[in-house]
Structure 1
């Protein structure tokens, strides 16, 4: 007999005793049967094991944890062909030095560091972000030179396109607005003196010293490329990636 059946029998006996006005001391107490749960499969807690091969042996800035959404705010440059042609030229030059250089995916210009956002904060955070960037004026985006960067942990090196002087002024004002939202949610703000850039190629390790002597040749390639494909593009929105979710916020 199941535990539920015993419980029903117990309740039935109790009701009968009430109807017969019997003393509570005369009620027969039923000892419930303890069910055998040994054959029931218990689902284990979610676990995550990092596989470096999946992401080119890149080292995470912070460990994967359920409920934590890796997030960042950025600007997109819409002309993908402009980047692809330049990346191909630069990669051929760099692979003569070291073959491990890889093209960056989803090329963008960061307006924040990568930060952790809890799920319940996604909606209010995105609403605050939309509100604060809505009064931004559109501006032209153009690039000036190639530079070499390392991430904060010095585990990866990047060859990147640095934006020109005028675009840098617009992006600085925009990032300061975004810093206000980050501060509201107690999240780390962007760099004090940011160097706005679009990373094109990456390699594991700190290779800044090795690339110092080759940077001039890379910028010659860039100048030729800009001469052939010279143009600016208008930026009218900000993007935000939160985990696997993408958001866009248009300017006025």
Structure 2
């Protein structure tokens, strides 16, 4: 995708014959002296100097169109609730993942507050997720110029995928690969086959761009809350007590229902939507 350029024989220097009608520069003209405006080399130097002096600054509105190229990013984990990046940020690299969104209702939020309080009583301080979703890919890195063909490939693959419903009601503890964060989640109990079909579509696009595909035997889940570090053992000790809160919630066991009507792809600060067929 890179474009090259070619130079004419006159720029090669050695081996190029001088045109009989072309005026030669004197040795003085090629030096530091002034007053040789007829010399091509002198004209070129003065032209470049004039362009440098008169070049205008780039308007701020244009810079704002490309935030990934001009934004400064910090690696200070204290500014991100203690979270640590899985990979170092580089300009032009966009963290990307594909998921199904979950829109919580009031009953879910009430249950989540109860779970956080019960975990705190077990000395496990959890932070609720800012948004809730079911992942269908790993987090990968896209170059900025890949975004359009990547999302086009996803849209084409998902064109004939149909909507469905999946549910989750069993709590499970997960820890990320780097062991930097532990999650309290709900594991999917119905809709597993349809989710696998979607993953196969997403994996084909990932393979096109030589990116990591999803896990071989995925455990689909919706993360509810998290904490920094590997606290798998501590959270597992109190998981039965937390599960009782789910099973005894109000009129009966709470069941998280996820209406799978739209896939989304988050890449950097952009979100792309892919509606599924009715």
Q: Is the 8 A contact 1:83 1:200 kept in 2?
A: no
Change (3 A) 1:243 1:99: same
Structure number with higher relative contact order (C-alpha < 8 Å, ≥ 6 residues apart): 1
Task: Give unmatched runs, 5+ long, in structure 2.
Answer: 1-22, 30-34, 37-41, 58-69
Change (3 A) 1:47 1:142: closer
Q: Which has the larger displacement, 82-91 or 109-118?
A: 82-91
Q: Is the 8 A contact 1:109 1:197 kept in 2?
A: yes
Change (3 A) 1:24 1:64: closer
How many residue pairs get aligned? The number is: 224
Q: Match for residue 94 of structure 1?
A: 119
User: How big is each residue's C-alpha offset from its partner over 1:163-202, in whole Å with a ceiling of 9 and x where there is no partner?
Assistant: 11x3122111111111011001111000000001111111
User: How big is each residue's C-alpha offset from its partner over 1:185-222, in whole Å with a ceiling of 9 and x where there is no partner?
Assistant: 11100000000111111111111111222111111111
3-state SS of paired residue (1:86): helix
Q: Which has the larger displacement, 230-239 or 126-135?
A: 230-239
| In structure 1, distance between residues paired with 2:139 and 2:164 | 24
| In structure 1, distance between residues paired with 2:100 and 2:24 | 75
| In structure 2, distance between residues paired with 1:99 and 1:154 | 16
Q: Is the 8 A contact 2:246 2:253 kept in 1?
A: no
Aligned residues: CA RMSD: 2.9
3-state SS of paired residue (1:209): helix
**Structure 1 residue 151 displacement after superposition:** 0.3
| In structure 2, distance between residues paired with 1:230 and 1:100 | 24
User: How big is each residue's C-alpha offset from its partner over 1:148-175, in whole Å with a ceiling of 9 and x where there is no partner?
Assistant: 00000111111001111x3122111111
Change (3 A) 1:99 1:195: closer
Question: 1:66-105, aligned counterparts within 5 Å?
Answer: 66-98=91-123, 100-105=125-130
Task: Give unmatched runs, 5+ long, in structure 1.
Answer: 1-22
2:134 pairs, out of 97, 101, 109, with 109
3-state SS of paired residue (1:175): helix
